[in-house]
Amino acid sequence: MGVLLVVCDGMADRPVVELGRRTPLQVAETPNMDKLAEVGSCGIMDPVAPGIPPGSDVANMALLGYDPYEHYAGRGALEALGAGLELGPGDVAFRCNFATVDASGVVLDRRAGRISTEKASVLAEAIREALEKADFGVEVEFVNTVQHRAVLVLRGEGLSKAISDTDPKVVGKPIKECVPLEDTAEARRTAEVVNRLTAFFREVLSSHPLNKELPKPANAILMRGAGSLPELKPLGELYGIRGACISAVALIKGVCRAAGLEVLDVPGATGSYDTDLGAKFSKAIWALGNGYDFVFLHIKATDVASHDHAVDKKVWFIGEVDKALGGALEALSLDEDYVVLTADHTTSLRTGQHEGDPVPLAIAGPEARPDGVERFDEISCSLGCLCRLRGVDLMPILMNLLGKVRRFGA
């Protein structure tokens, strides 16, 4: 007996004028999602709290049972995850800026004239090449993201995020020395590495030919927001389960890894419309048959469609997800396993943004109480027997169905 939790990113929506004031889920052809609703328990769920639009990191942390108000550990680490860098426990990540400094290190522009992403990529590549020949006693990874923004990750034993920023936050002041914020060897060592890196970056960047051409040369890297992966008690420890994650998105993989799930790679999973949904569901079914009690299957493109204001594409892609789900329902037995369907948040086709509206939820499987709900959408599910839940309640409910929640009291 296991649980397959299918999370379609941003699948929930508001009524859309072009769809006759119905939501994409109300319009799409979804016989298999509807079957889940029909045989299972339905409800709606506020991923974090009513009216609060969650980021994907926060929403999926909540769906995995961790209260983000308690566990959210800042952007440094999650931005690194979002930039596609992998983070392990103990790694320390920073948000960085390319900046312009004078010869004495005084900051003239904190964003190097908002250098273009293309030019920043050239400089970042130069940094990576130089890093390959250097030795800081730890592994150093540097990736630029958009314009002047970048991410730095230090990997290895004996690091600490308890160190200060080098970014002075204002122009006219010198790059700050990084100092340990606690009296530990780890913090002292990490601060020392950061200071050596700051000098190293200035050296590499100052001599780069590209910077000779720029009115505001990107000749320094400012670092701030040192962070580690949030310290979550792994789901395996909390519930005695073995769990897996199937997702194409670095940020989601990062959250799942932080929760102690094993990330299973699926060739063809792209995080876009062309993702191989069949391959993802097949991998999930394989996992349930091979020692995993819990599989978190994340599908991204529903969210992409809303961010792109692509009404027809969202309706179409929901139909594609439904077909892939149908294949899975043929291969699985709901007398044996639970199949759970939801979204991590509402993404509005009109605003193109994450919104704080609740999402539909269906839990089907051997001992889910069936209610009268026959359609999987935001309205139909709100009439189901689960009523209205919060995201953090989902995991205890699912683990309770598996008999994995310890009794509280006698």
Residues in touch with a second copy (CB under 8 A): 14-15, 21, 23, 44, 48-59, 68, 72, 75, 78, 225, 251, 348, 350-351, 353-357, 367-372, 378-379, 382-389, 393, 395-400, 403, 405-410
Say if CB 238 and CB 65 are below 8 A apart: yes
C-beta of 281 vs 338, nearer to a second copy: 338
Least Å from the CB of residue 322 to a second copy? 21
Task: Please give the radius of gyration of the chain, using alpha carbons only, rounded to the nearest integer.
Answer: 24
Least Å from the CB of residue 329 to a second copy? 18
Look up residue 138 and give its DSSP letter.
Answer: S
C-beta of 194 vs 398, nearer to a second copy: 398
Least Å from the CB of residue 22 to a second copy? 9
Dist. CA 275–CA 234, nearest whole Å = 29
C-beta of 189 vs 257, nearer to a second copy: 257
Residue 372, burial from CB neighbour count under 10 angstroms (0-12, 13-18, 19+): exposed
Least Å from the CB of residue 109 to a second copy? 21
Least Å from the CB of residue 150 to a second copy? 15
Least Å from the CB of residue 141 to a second copy? 20
C-beta of 213 vs 408, nearer to a second copy: 408
* Consecutive H or E run containing 399: helix 391-401
C-beta of 217 vs 271, nearer to a second copy: 271
Residue 51, burial from CB neighbour count under 10 angstroms (0-12, 13-18, 19+): exposed
How does strand 262-263 pair with strand 243-246?
Answer: parallel
C-beta of 30 vs 211, nearer to a second copy: 30
In 137-208, which residue ranges form alpha helices assigned H by DSSP? 185-206
Angle at 313 between CA 310 and CA 319, to 5 degrees: 145
